[in-house]
Chains A and B, each alone.
Chain A
């Protein structure tokens, strides 16, 4: 839409800059730059930041701005971690509300499923625990407003509960007979629940220390294979099966995160279009609010996905092997001269180049964004609104809806970026995760030819802009430029890039008027 010529010129300009930088890196530091590992990393980082760049590009094209991206990345990451938090809960566990040694009773929450004769495992803390047998199940009664069932047990509990103790005063759960134990396999009684990979079993004994074991798989007929052997175990122990219970399943957690960021995007949009608040102010408040929320929700503790190494972890570190193997090596390893060559295929030292999975997500985002912006009605309307909102409104476009859509798209892509960053880093410190990401995203978009005046910008430009930013970062490491100068260099390159762009535009205008 509009001036295609200058748009292409911009992309060509910044691509030249990127190629130039690559040439410098190949020239100066080929042995570290051209390794499959480094290139993969560059691709991964570009993909992660690129998703954010494309998000903010929509908002910039609508002639707005979104400063909340970094905090929203953090919030999305923290929410995902919280939603996927894992608890290990013994099967059929209920709370204990009162313990009386003299009457040898334990009052448990009324929704228990215990029967007379069951052997139960009572646990309060390391000193207050033990196996008890249900002698009698009493009536349900009210205790401090809770309905509880009084169980008469033996042996009697060791001591009364202290009235000052916090309630509940422990937990109690069913145990099952270990019919057979040998090697790393335990056979449980028939009515024991089926267990899955990564569930656990706590083996308890009247006199011995309990041992917790991880389940590898549930074999035939209650034959449970554990991950390791333990010679101290035998059939005298009783088993407390423990289920791994995530707060949410992975799809549900993802859906919830996207739902929440989408709502936040809608709120941004409505505040800006309906209350006529300035985008800068709205998203600045977002920046502060989401950061604070993230820290509060996580108690300012670092969160991660340790329990998900085999699912999310694999996506994060996963890559599609291209089959191309190479490695830059010195021509003569003993020679200090800087001559080098690439070795290919099965030559010694050559490594497989793989494309990170995150790149494929990025690719999908790029393609959808290009289609959306250029081929759909809404994309076109977005560009029109960015250029001249009034004229767009006078042409019968719902400018409020289109502007809101831009903020929603930005928030959703930020959420996606947040999820990708989260599983990539696997360690989210809520006070710093995502700091400055909005500025990286805006910088990449501006470098890629988006004008903060609105209505101008291309997705490809943003992609190249992001790649340039990440290559810059890479070159600071590889060329051994002092870390402290990182921001200075990135800032300077953006400044020169944009200044150069304006200069060529002026020259082009001059040239055109001369020509005619």
Chain B
């Protein structure tokens, strides 16, 4: 038995205009948790996709159990026991848990799917991942955290020996994350190797036996055991000190820009919400995933019409029935789902930046002003440091952080008074994160009002002047900068004052 379960030798891969991976090698032992970290665009996702057979490498070799192999398809990778669990889960919402686990490999009797066998065998895998739901439950009814467990159960059902997890906790609550970590540890003890990709260094520190740092598509360094510290990882990733990570300069706070009075959203009709944001103020909106923060932003921006309550923009009560009216009142929303809602991913940077301003900049016959669009885009590329070969580049070829900057550029070209951000740094690498924080900081100092939703406590504490905390659709509290700490937020987010134990 060779020492290494998986060995990767000098893999390289290029995309149009980008060298995604260059001569990257790694090894993986049985029962080891190996984390791969690096800024977005550092090549993590590409490496994982090659290992899972999603795309082929341009050059380099892969050995499993010491034997040279190559994967043309995900199926081939699976046959070798390598399974990728995507950041966006790949489950069919409309099928039940058992059907999802055995999707494509349904046990059959005389050509008819044997549902009883599916249920029986599913239960075994569900038990292994510690998920207590019936195999008959429709997947769409489960929380994201439980869906992820189902995805892992599915991986186990193909005898996975290597589980590749790409940002598994990005949409999990902290309780869900904790149970995921327990599961990972138990899988490791069962001899399953895990390749773990995350931007959350605390998780990486907690879980990893070994950490590989990628930078600009190259293997930059490897940390083992005690070397795995927060500071070490960050400095290796970005090559700079983190002490200035949340670097805040105080700036004056002005008049109230947004006032929400007793607003109820269609998702939480029983809980009216009131809050306000002032000019130059950065207000965090913390809480667990699914606590109604996104829904609140959607209602303010007119995507979902509020059931009751009112909005005041700059002391004037306004009716916002659709996003168009919200934009008209100087509100901008950077949504959580960049690829679906933030961008038109198949269009160019310029088309994306210019889309919101088309109407405003058009002449009176409705002809679009493309010079203006081009100059606005160039300004934004400059101002936000969007890394793109040109304004004509298609958005999907940019890294997550740069895509997010394109979304921001779209709104900044409209010079909004109020900027709503929903998980602005989700799926964004550390370097871009810091740039986004600096940008938020700068916009606030130019007296823009900012309301942002974040599930990362560190982030809320780091950049907010003030924060509201939500729990199951209601505002459970408001914390001033001095009161902001992980404990105070979590207490409100789980509403421990009311319930002994928070529901997940």
A residues contacting B by CB (< 8 A) are 1-3, 375-378, 380-381, 384, 387-388, 390-398, 455, 512-513, 515-516
Cβ of B54 under 8 Å from chain A = no
Q: Are A515 and B323 in contact (CB under 8 A)?
A: no
A396 to B16 Cα, complex, angstroms: 32
| Chain A residues whose CB sits within 8 angstroms of the CB of B18 once the complex forms | 516
Q: Are A396 and B324 in contact (CB under 8 A)?
A: yes
| Chain A residues whose CB sits within 8 angstroms of the CB of B347 once the complex forms | 1-2, 384, 387
Given contacts A3-B394, A376-B368, A515-B16, contact A394 B335 (CB under 8 A): yes
Given contacts A396-B323, A396-B324, A397-B324, contact A377 B359 (CB under 8 A): yes
| Chain A residues whose CB sits within 8 angstroms of the CB of B346 once the complex forms | 2-3, 387-388, 455
Q: Are A392 and B355 in contact (CB under 8 A)?
A: yes
Q: Are A378 and B344 in contact (CB under 8 A)?
A: no
Q: Are B16 and A512 in contact (CB under 8 A)?
A: yes
A375: contacting residue among B340, B345, B359, B368, CB under 8 A: B368
Q: Are A388 and B344 in contact (CB under 8 A)?
A: yes
Cβ of B477 under 8 Å from chain A = no
Q: Which 5 A-B pairs have the closest CB atoms?
A: A396-B327, A516-B16, A377-B362, A376-B366, A388-B344
A376 to chain B: closest CB distance in Å? Answer: 4
Q: Are A516 and B14 in contact (CB under 8 A)?
A: yes
| Chain A residues whose CB sits within 8 angstroms of the CB of B328 once the complex forms | 396
14 further contact pairs, Cβ within 8 A, besides A384-B351, A395-B327, A396-B328: A376-B366, A377-B362, A381-B355, A381-B359, A390-B341, A391-B344, A394-B301, A394-B342, A395-B323, A396-B323, A396-B327, A397-B324, A397-B355, A516-B16
Q: Return the chain B residue nearest A388 by Cβ.
A: B344
A181 to chain B: closest CB distance in Å? Answer: 62
A381 to B358 Cα, complex, angstroms: 8
Q: Return the chain B residue nearest A516 by Cβ.
A: B16
A319 to B186 Cα, complex, angstroms: 83
Q: Are B341 and A513 in contact (CB under 8 A)?
A: no
Q: Are B324 and A516 in contact (CB under 8 A)?
A: no
B294-323 interface mask toward A, CB cutoff 8 Å, 1 = contact, 0 = none?
000000010100000000000000000011
A143 to B347 Cα, complex, angstroms: 75
Q: Are B368 and A391 in contact (CB under 8 A)?
A: no
Given contacts A513-B15, A516-B17, contact A395 B356 (CB under 8 A): yes
* CB<8 Å pairs between A and B, sample of 23: A1-B347, A1-B351, A3-B394, A375-B367, A376-B366, A376-B368, A377-B362, A378-B366, A380-B351, A380-B358, A380-B368, A384-B355, A388-B345, A390-B340, A391-B341, A391-B343, A393-B323, A395-B323, A395-B355, A397-B355, A397-B359, A398-B322, A516-B16
- The listed residue with most B CB atoms (<10 A of its CB), out of A3, A378, A397, is A397
A387 to B410 Cα, complex, angstroms: 17
Given contacts A3-B394, A388-B340, A394-B341, contact A513 B355 (CB under 8 A): no
| Chain B residues whose CB sits within 8 angstroms of the CB of A390 once the complex forms | 340-341
Cβ of B348 under 8 Å from chain A = yes
A423 to B323 Cα, complex, angstroms: 46
Chain B residues bordering chain A, tally (CB within 8 A): 36
Cβ of B129 under 8 Å from chain A = no
Cβ of B444 under 8 Å from chain A = no
| Chain A residues whose CB sits within 8 angstroms of the CB of B367 once the complex forms | 375-377
Given contacts A375-B368, A393-B303, A396-B327, contact A387 B344 (CB under 8 A): yes
B291 to chain A: closest CB distance in Å? Answer: 21
A376 to B346 Cα, complex, angstroms: 20
Given contacts A393-B303, A398-B324, contact A2 B351 (CB under 8 A): yes
Cβ of B277 under 8 Å from chain A = no
Cβ of B214 under 8 Å from chain A = no
| Chain A residues whose CB sits within 8 angstroms of the CB of B303 once the complex forms | 393-394
- The listed residue with most B CB atoms (<10 A of its CB), out of A378, A380, A392, A394, is A394
Given contacts A396-B323, A396-B327, contact A377 B355 (CB under 8 A): no
B342 to chain A: closest CB distance in Å? Answer: 6
A515 to B327 Cα, complex, angstroms: 42
A376 to B14 Cα, complex, angstroms: 38
B318-338 interface mask toward A, CB cutoff 8 Å, 1 = contact, 0 = none?
000011101110000101000
| Chain B residues whose CB sits within 8 angstroms of the CB of A1 once the complex forms | 347-348, 351
A108 to chain B: closest CB distance in Å? Answer: 58
Within 8 A of A (CB), among B10-31: 14-18
A399 to B17 Cα, complex, angstroms: 34
A375 to B362 Cα, complex, angstroms: 10
Q: Return the chain B residue nearest A398 by Cβ.
A: B324
Q: Are B326 and A376 in contact (CB under 8 A)?
A: no
A8 to B36 Cα, complex, angstroms: 41
A36 to chain B: closest CB distance in Å? Answer: 39
A516: contacting residue among B15, B333, B335, B344, CB under 8 A: B15
Q: Are B410 and A395 in contact (CB under 8 A)?
A: yes
A380 to B354 Cα, complex, angstroms: 10
A364 to B15 Cα, complex, angstroms: 43
| Chain B residues whose CB sits within 8 angstroms of the CB of A393 once the complex forms | 303, 322-323
Q: Are B15 and A377 in contact (CB under 8 A)?
A: no
A392 to B365 Cα, complex, angstroms: 22
B221 to chain A: closest CB distance in Å? Answer: 27
B345 to chain A: closest CB distance in Å? Answer: 7
| Chain A residues whose CB sits within 8 angstroms of the CB of B301 once the complex forms | 394
Q: Return the chain A residue nearest B20 by Cβ.
A: A516
A3 to B346 Cα, complex, angstroms: 8
A387 to B301 Cα, complex, angstroms: 22
- The listed residue with most B CB atoms (<10 A of its CB), out of A387, A396, A398, A513, is A396
Q: Return the chain A residue nearest B325 by Cβ.
A: A396
A398 to B15 Cα, complex, angstroms: 36
B406 to chain A: closest CB distance in Å? Answer: 11
A516 to B217 Cα, complex, angstroms: 14
Q: Are A396 and B368 in contact (CB under 8 A)?
A: no
B331 to chain A: closest CB distance in Å? Answer: 9
| Chain B residues whose CB sits within 8 angstroms of the CB of A387 once the complex forms | 344, 346-347
A378 to B355 Cα, complex, angstroms: 11
- The listed residue with most A CB atoms (<10 A of its CB), out of B303, B326, B335, B368, is B368
Q: Are B333 and A394 in contact (CB under 8 A)?
A: yes
| Chain A residues whose CB sits within 8 angstroms of the CB of B17 once the complex forms | 516
Q: Return the chain B residue nearest A2 by Cβ.
A: B347
B132 to chain A: closest CB distance in Å? Answer: 35
A513: contacting residue among B16, B333, B345, B362, CB under 8 A: B16
- The listed residue with most A CB atoms (<10 A of its CB), out of B301, B328, B344, B368, is B344
| Chain A residues whose CB sits within 8 angstroms of the CB of B345 once the complex forms | 388
A237 to B328 Cα, complex, angstroms: 78
B346 to chain A: closest CB distance in Å? Answer: 6
A392 to B347 Cα, complex, angstroms: 12
| Chain B residues whose CB sits within 8 angstroms of the CB of A391 once the complex forms | 340-344
Given contacts A394-B333, A516-B16, A516-B17, contact A376 B341 (CB under 8 A): no
A452 to chain B: closest CB distance in Å? Answer: 15
